[in-house]
Amino acid sequence: MVHDLAGPMPGTLYVVATPIGNLEDITFRAVRILREVDLIAAEDTRRTSLLLRHHHVETPVTSFHEHNERQKLPHLLSRLRSGASLAVVSDAGTPAVSDPGYRLVRACLDERIRVSPIPGPSAPITALVASGLPTDSFVFLGYPPARQQARMRWLNDLKDRPETLLMFEAPHRIRATLADSLSILGDRHICVARELTKLHEELLTGPISEILMRLPEARGEFTLVMQGAEHDQEVRVDVSDDQIATEIGLMTKDERLSRRDAARRLARKYGLSPNEIYARAQRAAR
């Protein structure tokens, strides 16, 4: 990369991961960078100010969130072009992962302004490694659609994906999303993580039907880790006759499948024959 020696050298944009809860979960390098840059662009200046005070960082802070991202972008790019170095941080975790920052990173790369990621906490990865589900192949999906019809279609598109599924969900939609997941994906093994790294951290693991019964009061953001579709693999989660009958009922009612198609889907899911699925559903109905 060649620069005009008569003009200023561009600064650097640092994409800095910050704690998702516990303020001690930040790297020495991240604290140093936050002290050294000329400006910190923060999703929530009040929340970031608490972190900065805790670590004795006195760098100026400006707001940079989804509602002003487009308006602030030209100003931040101008500062970088003039030689200033900036750090972008989100409310918690790694910026640009379902948070502001993507457009700024893209604009810097387009203008050949250096972008330096400062790694650290990430709620999806933190939940994944504590879930007990496979970590060799996974996909992060952000937030499910807020409206039920769109969410059901979204889940239906995921039902055959073999990777472990990671997603966020808001507290007022968590129960509805889990119920829709049970209907579309079946009673998969999941981990529901809440208040990660905080005093009241809670991780619930088990089949979706069980988690729905154990789900705590809906407060705080939720991170979901969900078992992927199983294709000719041994099923880890045992299934009862009652659950088979329930899933057949949901498929025939909500998805309007025939009992035959529902039995075939469950047979593939649980490694059983369609005849055994029928037999176990009949036992549950007695």
Contact call for residues 172 and 188 (beta carbons, < 8 A): no
pLDDT beyond 90 at 165: yes
For the entire predicted model, the pTM comes to: 0.74
Percentage above 90 pLDDT, the chain? 64
Nearest partner of 73 among 13, 30, 8, judged by Cα: 13
The separation between CA 183 and the C-alpha centre of its own chain, rounded to angstroms, equals 21
Contact call for residues 165 and 228 (beta carbons, < 8 A): yes
Task: Determine the longest span between alpha carbons in the chain, in angstroms.
Answer: 86
Residue type present at position 65: H
Quick one: pLDDT at residue 106? 94
What b/e readout covers 22-38, taking b as 16+ CB neighbours within 10 angstroms? eeebbeeebbebbeebe
Query: Rounded to an integer, what distance in angstroms lies between the CA atom of residue 232 and that of residue 257?
Result: 22
Contact call for residues 124 and 164 (beta carbons, < 8 A): no
DSSP string for residues in 233-284 = S--SS---HHHHHHHHHHHHHTS---HHHHHHHHHHHHT--HHHHHHHHHHH
Radius of gyration of the chain (CA): 23
Q: What are phi and psi of 238, to 5 degrees?
A: -70, 155
| Residue 9: count of CB within 10 angstroms of its CB | 12
Taking only the tens place, the pLDDT of each residue in 67-91 is 898 899 999 999 999 999 999 999 9
- pLDDT band of residue 200 (cuts 50, 70, 90) is confident
Query: Rounded to an integer, what distance in angstroms lies between the CA atom of residue 3 and that of residue 181?
Result: 53
Residue 171 corresponds to which tokens in the numbers above? Answer: 């507290």
Q: What are phi and psi of 267, to 5 degrees?
A: -60, -45
pLDDT beyond 90 at 190: yes
Quick one: pLDDT at residue 111? 93
- pLDDT band of residue 237 (cuts 50, 70, 90) is low
The separation between CA 256 and the C-alpha centre of its own chain, rounded to angstroms, equals 30
